[in-house]
Every structure is written in C-alpha cells, then in structure tokens.
Homo-oligomer: A and B are copies of this chain.
C-alpha cells in the first residue's frame, strides 16, 4: 500500500511555478485578457503578472492582441494564449482500432491517423503505436509538448501498463519507452479516466471541483475527478466500476464472477440481451446498439425493456458512487449514449430510488454523448496539466 512519503519542501521556484500557472490558467480560461485583470483575479500584483506574462511571451505561449475597451482609465492591453504554440500527439488504444491525433493547446485536432489492430498484440501492438506517432510527427507541427496515451487496463503513475487484457500487455513500461525514444514528456493513462479528465478540463472556466465521468461502451469504466484532481486509488484502479457486482446470481463475467455491471449494462451485454429477447419472441433481431435505440425510440416494448434494464443497472452504480462520494455531477459518455433519453431516464430513476432525496435532488446525470475523441482529449488534458501546470491545487 502506498504510504504518505514526506512531501517535497517548498521553494521559491515552486512559488513562481504556482503563480505562473495561475496566470496561464487565467489566460486559458478567460481568453484575451489584460494583465491588470489577471492581477485582480489571481490576487497577484501587477508587477508579478507583468513578469510572468513576459515569460510566457518569451516562450511563445502568449502574445498581445490589441487593446480592450477602457473602463474609465487607460485602455488595457489584451494578452492571449497562442493556441498553436505547442502541439501534442495523443493516442486512443481502442478495442479494435488505435487512433491518434495531433492536437493544439485547446485540444483542437490538427491531424488524425488510425490503424486497425487486426488481432495484433504484444510487440506488434507497440509497433503500431510507434507507427502512429511517427506518422503524425512527420508532418508540420509546432514544438511538441508531449505524447499522451490512453489505454484500457490499469496504468500506474509511471506510465507502466500493469495489464491490458486485449493487448496481452503486462507490466509494459510504455511511458518510459516512448519518453526515451522520442525524448518527449509522456503520459500514459487509463482510457476512461483520461476521458473523465477531458470532460473536466474542457468544461471551461467554471469546471466543477468534483466530477465523475462514466464511459459506457464495450466496457464500462469511470474516472473520478476529486478536488480538481484525477484520483488514482491505491492500485491505480479507482473508477474501475465495470466489475462491481450488480446481480449476484447473474450471468458469468470474464473476470470470473457473476453479474458484474459489464455483464448487464455494457454495449455487448445490451446486444446479447436484445438478441435473446428477440429470439424468444420471434421478432427481428437488432444488429446494433443504434438499431436498439431506434426501436426503443419507436416505442418497441421489448427494446425499451432491455434499454431500461441496462439503465437501471448503471443507475445502481451511479447511486453507489454518489452515495459514497457525494459528487453531484455525473457525466455519462460513450457509444451507449445513443440509447438516448429512455436509457438516461432509467439511470436517473434508479439512482434517485437508491440515494437520499436531498442528495439525489442536486445530482445531475448528464449526457456526454458518444465522445469519440474523449480519450484523445483526455491525455491532452493530462499533458496540459502536467507539462504546463494548467490546473493546480492549494
């Protein structure tokens, strides 16, 4: 178990870095803004802000962009972040496809690349990762801030993938390897948690302090942003809710237990249930999650039943999360969100049924959409935090 080590001492350099990140964050969140306004918002003196902005200009991260309207005195000089001052390469190592993108500081995708996995695993899969990074770095780009990788499975803070079942990776120090090979800062993180962090960071200036994002697709995983920080847990497994047991006497799960959330509420599970129900009733078997969504939207009772059952199961998980953590913003994203309102209503109903009324009243379960790029954006967000100190605590 991780023990509390002695925290690092505080130095002047850290103080400076902290204040620099305050300025950066003001610039990032509040668009073109004057030095004086930054000083008011952050509490820093105009002197310090001036120096820090000068540093950012030196680094090519910020520039003056004209004057703003006067409020009774000298008109302010507006300073703006240069969105394309840095680029990043981030990857989403999906079930069947590896996706990569070149992003700017705003998380805007400049270029993409994909590779089909075609059953590749182990070293072959690692080769694909290099391949994608090389392809994206071959084109024109600004200085690279770092490389970000989102992957299923458990990843420690050093960037070592403890295990990722479908890629047959165990204890793969991917982070260190990529960092050494490309000589660039590298972040490797679990995909769901990366997605959660993206949802948090790109929320804009009034991001909540706490947020839980649940990604429902082939698997189910959540990321917990607590006090503005992605929470790891002791074994870097925080948010791995796919194997919470929902129906103790339910279907077997590949994890060895019965009735895990994934056996009930994941996209494959929903398809399976729809298949059996349709076969039993002798009606047409839906071939995709979209087909089920369409049928449910059209009022097909069978489809609605399947959708609602899946939603309720997820609602139980939501209830246990909100009950335990009292986090009031839950964002659900991933391919399952095409199921739309009937599904969300079931999630909300069940969550409400299982938590204190006062708590449930203030908890919002938000539809985050398919969020296909959430993982790509997530490791981007992690790089922004780690390399630029875009978010800070204290």
A-side residues, CB < 8 A to B, are 1-4, 6-12, 14-16, 18-19, 22, 25-26, 41-44, 206-210, 222, 224, 226-229, 231-241, 243-245, 248, 255-257, 319-321, 323-329, 353-359, 362, 391-394
When distances are taken between beta carbons in the complex, the residues of chain B under 8 Å from A226 are 226, 231
- In-complex Cβ contact of A325 among B6, B41, B324 (8 A): B324
| B10 pairs with A248, CB closer than 8 A | no
Chain B proximity of A331: nearest CB distance (Å): 13
- In-complex Cβ contact of A228 among B4, B238, B329 (8 A): B4
| B8 pairs with A43, CB closer than 8 A | yes
| B2 pairs with A243, CB closer than 8 A | no
- In-complex Cβ contact of A9 among B2, B44, B257, B391 (8 A): B44
Chain B proximity of A37: nearest CB distance (Å): 12
When distances are taken between beta carbons in the complex, the residues of chain B under 8 Å from A42 are 6, 9
Chain B proximity of A353: nearest CB distance (Å): 7
| B357 pairs with A3, CB closer than 8 A | no
When distances are taken between beta carbons in the complex, the residues of chain B under 8 Å from A357 are 255-256
| A209 pairs with B324, CB closer than 8 A | no
* CB pairs A–B below 8 angstroms (25 shown): A1-B362, A3-B206, A3-B208, A4-B206, A6-B42, A9-B44, A10-B14, A10-B18, A10-B19, A12-B15, A208-B234, A209-B234, A224-B325, A227-B229, A232-B326, A235-B326, A235-B358, A238-B324, A241-B324, A245-B354, A257-B353, A320-B320, A320-B324, A324-B324, A394-B394
CA distance A19 to B7 in the complex (A): 10
CA distance A319 to B245 in the complex (A): 8
Chain B proximity of A383: nearest CB distance (Å): 19
CA distance A240 to B353 in the complex (A): 16
- In-complex Cβ contact of A231 among B248, B256, B323, B325 (8 A): B325
When distances are taken between beta carbons in the complex, the residues of chain B under 8 Å from A22 are 6-7, 9
CA distance A222 to B324 in the complex (A): 8
Chain B proximity of A110: nearest CB distance (Å): 28
| A1 pairs with B393, CB closer than 8 A | no
| A244 pairs with B320, CB closer than 8 A | yes
| B326 pairs with A324, CB closer than 8 A | no
A245-B353, A248-B354 known; A238 and B2 CB under 8 Å?
Answer: no
| A328 pairs with B256, CB closer than 8 A | no
